[in-house]
Amino acid sequence: MTVAQPYHEAMAMSSPLALTDEQIDTLTRIAAPLHPRDRKPFLEDVTRALNGRELGDGLLHRIAIECQRRYWSPPAIDARSTARSRAYD
């Protein structure tokens, strides 16, 4: 059984970037909807994309959203289990 690493541990292992607390919070929020197994590769992709660039909040957010799209899978929706109002039963 694999235990998911917290975001800050995954970032520390692969990131030489100096991020502010707000930037780390931004990455944490953007990574939250991802499956736990995808969070570390997501953070590694963000780090690679930001390496060597002048880091700002806007660039960080744009890159993180672009990387998130590669890993995010929408939940499967089962049409049979959609909630209905009991008013019509």
Nearest residue to 46 via CA among 73, 22, 28, 21? 28
Structure tokens at 20: 């502010």
Per-residue pLDDT of 57-82, as tens digits, reads 999 999 999 999 999 988 788 766 65
Per-residue pLDDT of 31-61, as tens digits, reads 999 999 999 999 999 999 999 899 999 999 9
- Of residues 76 and 21, the one with the higher pLDDT is 21
Structure tokens at 61: 């957010």
What are the extents of the domains in the chain?
A: 7-72
